[in-house]
A = this chain, B = another copy of it.
Amino acid sequence: MNRRLTQRGRERRQQLMEFAAQRFADQGYHPTSVAEIVQGLGVGKGVFYWYFSSKEELFLEILREAQHDLRRTQQQAIDGEDDPVRRIALGIRASMRWSSEHPQLHQLFAFAVTEERFAPALRKGEQTAVSDAARHVREAITRGEIRDGDPELIAHAILGVTTHLARRFVHEQGRPWPEVADAAVSFCLDGLLVERDILV
């Protein structure tokens, strides 16, 4: 399914992906039929199978592109920042912003975890993101800026906080993303306690 596409062809393909992503997010992957997607765009079924070999492939394609786009966004955000802690904070903010701009894709990530066919693809992309973050954590630990700990685990914890707050506050409650991002950053960096043992 690697066709040479004309300009118009690439646009069609993009249209299909965007429309499908929206529907998948709104109603779920399975409850959304191919017929529905092509009808929504007012084209015949043939069109769909011209661009994608199956519904499954379409989903994977959307997933790949989304992960790629998120990563690019994060990298642009931290580009040129030397301090690793600041890079972490900028990464969290970038994720939150991206998530608020692409709630459907965020929702698709959530679905992909739950189905054996898609989970591996998702994990692969997530692993890349986590490794990126873990690198900053490691560097910050080395520099003595943050407390010692398993960098991968910490990166996952950050991811968990960010993802969850994005869903509940930005998507569901419609709060402005910057303030939720600030809360996430503060939670991750400062923790909850007023006084704590600094055992470094």
Contact = CB atoms under 8 A, between A and B. Distances in A.
Interface of A: 26-31, 85, 88, 107, 110-111, 113-116, 123, 137, 140, 144-147, 149-150, 153-154, 156-157, 159-165, 167-169, 172, 180, 183-184, 186-198, 200
Given A146-B193, A194-B144, A200-B194, A187 B116 contact: no
Nearest to A169: B153
Copies of this protein chain in the complex? 4
A191 B191 contact: yes
A27 to B, nearest CB: 6
Given A28-B115, A160-B160, A192 B189 contact: yes
Nearest to A167: B113
A135 B183 CA distance: 19
Nearest to A166: B160
B164 A157 contact: yes
Contacts of A153: 165, 169, 180, 183
B189 A190 contact: no
